[in-house]
Amino acid sequence: MPYLSSALTYAVAAHLPSYGKRGSDRAFPPTVSFLRPGFIAHRCDQLQVGERITLVNGIPVNGLTHDHVLTVLRNAGTDVHLQVEYDLNDKCFTRSQNTMSKCTDIVLEKERGSFGLTLRGGAYGPDRSKSRPITVTNIRTGGPAHREGRLRVGDRVLCINGVDVFSATLAVAQRLLEESLNSATLTIEYDVSILESVRKATGALVVEIDKAAGTDLGIMLKIKDADPAQNTPRSIVIDSITPASTADRLATIYKVRCGALHCGDEIISVDGIGLEYTTLAEARQLLRGQASTVRLEIVPLSQMLSNAAETFVCWIF
């Protein structure tokens, strides 16, 4: 199992991470097993549970007993420099099959010196097989990245404040974030599954979206007026979808996450409530809802265009 080292520094030795009863006298090497919420090791966003500690202020700890490792940590002083190893086979580095990639910019505000996310990966010159894209591997609950709402574990960071980090080392990416004063703009790449049945649908589709109660899905709506020539009634359609939003990423058809929603799709109902006579404000309120899942019945734009084309061909002949 390939591992890669990452160096980091954080302050206040009294708030060190817990690594469990591990050492040369245990079955496992020194490993981070717990980060106490709110303490510096948790807020620094540089450590993750499961990572192996190899150096403490330059002192190797792999061959030390559990008690000796604790002693080294407690005597490390107020500024602690750790080197850790992380698993390159972690699922966050694995891209799913049958997906398409999208890119967008996300602006994060800095809070207490951090953006609330952990990065891993990056170029590794000595051995290219150990190189991985700069990847978001953790988002701290309540932090800036979590509150922004669009970042997900597994997203790849392509640029930071306009600086290309596609081929950069992890240290370069972390330094760019550290040097950002009040905010940082991340250009991210994220995946959306492609479901062929959406393209070939011949009737209304039922789409489920998981969300936090009362949160914005990232869907903008508009009213499409009735068209007597096409014999189509007034309807409410999707005007735009915020990139990397909940609706963009997490729409589900038959328990398969996919890019099921697109601009121009008609929304027939929300949680069983028809939208034939609702106002835009009422439709938006239904989308926000207080339930953890929103159930939409939609007619894909591709299907409407196909039906219109068939009608036109029949009229010609």
Query: Of the ranges 164-173, 189-198, 225-234, 297-306, which one carries the lowest mean pLDDT score?
Result: 189-198
- In this predicted model, what pLDDT tens digit does every residue of 84-93 receive, in sequence order? 999 888 888 9
Domains and CATH numbers, the chain: 2-85 (2.30.42.10), 91-193 (2.30.42.10), 205-307 (2.30.42.10)
pTM, rounded to two decimals:
0.73
Query: Of the ranges 126-140, 252-266, 285-299, which one carries the lowest mean pLDDT score?
Result: 252-266
Would you state the pLDDT for residue 25? 55
1 pLDDT band, cuts 50/70/90, is very low
45 pLDDT band, cuts 50/70/90, is very high
Query: Of the ranges 5-14, 93-102, 213-222, 246-255, which one carries the lowest mean pLDDT score?
Result: 5-14
Sign of CA dihedral 41, 47, 50, 51: negative
Long-range Cβ pairs for the range 12-15 (8 Å, 24+): 12/40, 12/78, 13/73, 13/74, 13/75, 13/76, 13/77, 13/78, 13/80, 15/39, 15/40, 15/41
Give the tokens for residue 74.
């407690």
H helices present in the chain, as ranges: 40-43, 66-74, 144-148, 170-179, 196-199, 246-250, 280-288, 301-316
Closest CA to 219 of 195, 237, 232: 237
CA 109 – CA 116 distance, rounded (Å): 9
